[in-house]
Amino acid sequence: MTASVAVDGAVAGSGRVEWWDEADGTRLYLLTGEIDPRWRRRGLGRILLARLEEQAAAHWRDHPGAGPPLFGTNPSDEAALALAHAAGYRVRFTLVDLARDPAGAVEAPLPPGVALRPVRGEHHPRIHAAISACFAESRLGQEVQTYHEYRDGVRDTDLWVVAWAGDEIAGLVVNEREPDGTVDSSWVAVLPPWRRRGLASTLLQHSLRRLAGHGVRTATIRTVQENPHRTVALYERAGYRVTVRTPRYAKPLRQAG
């Protein structure tokens, strides 16, 4: 869905609406747009934002989900942030990016009964199920990922660390190589029966040692400041350091007007 504003018949700004349903059922409508610098500070941003909200609200009326529905926006500068605040948007959560050199990771013994196994093709249904189970109740922007979407994105399994307790997955770290040579840990998950036993910290050290063995110089990871499992502190204890914090803004769709 798209919208635009015009001055004297010429397009002065445009925007779009993207939407998806998150893991806990929240429907997020992400509103993005840009006003031509020549036409800023004339109220066109407010008009464009209102039109995008109207489109999202109409879509919700015609295609409601499990809810609750939210408008979301990611202000890129102070002017856009002021506009979002004036329209009622507030910080929903804050993305936190962290990084470290994998060199120097310590040896960390696994809990009794837990073993690491190389990733095989037949493991993927259980790995996907484990990831889904760990994040199903997240209210911090976690998107739903079908098994087919998961399989389409599988790569670099030689860098993954998957811990098994018998025939069940206890925890995992999914690592992916980036074009610049860094490696990002896109998923870090520990199943409920294995939480509060230090398994996450142990798997992070095993992951870092594996990356170091592959010559990786920079490992990155992203989490959410408000994560109830205090993941920022977890990663900092593992030697990661915060590189950037990025707030994400939202408001309930019912506030549209």
How many whole angstroms separate alpha carbon 185 and alpha carbon 9? 48
How many whole angstroms separate alpha carbon 134 and alpha carbon 154? 18
Cβ atoms within 10 Å of 245's Cβ, excluding its own: 11
Give domain 97-247's CATH architecture.
3-Layer(aba) Sandwich (3.40)
Q: Which fold has domain 2-88?
A: Aminopeptidase (3.40.630)
Task: Locate 225 and state its tokens.
Answer: 């400041």
Q: Any idea what DSSP says for residue 111? A: P
Question: Which three-class secondary structure state does DSSP give residue 187?
Answer: strand
Q: Any idea what DSSP says for residue 68? A: -
Look at residue 137 in the predicted model and tell me its pLDDT. 67
Query: Which amino acid, residue 164?
Result: W
Look at residue 142 in the predicted model and tell me its pLDDT. 78
Q: What is the CA radius of gyration of the chain?
A: 21
Cite the residue boundaries of each domain of the chain with CATH code 3.40.630.30. 2-88, 97-247
Place of tokens 């879509």: 59
Task: Locate 159 and state its tokens.
Answer: 């860098």
CB within 8 Å of 116: residues ≥ 6 apart:
110, 161, 162, 163, 164, 206
Contact indicator for 248, 212 with CB cutoff of 8 Å: no
Look at residue 138 in the predicted model and tell me its pLDDT. 67
Q: Which regions in the chain score pLDDT beneath 50? A: 255-257
Place of tokens 């109409």: 58
Contact indicator for 203, 194 with CB cutoff of 8 Å: no
pTM score: 0.87
Contact indicator for 206, 172 with CB cutoff of 8 Å: no
How many whole angstroms separate alpha carbon 171 and alpha carbon 1? 39
Look at residue 49 in the predicted model and tell me its pLDDT. 96
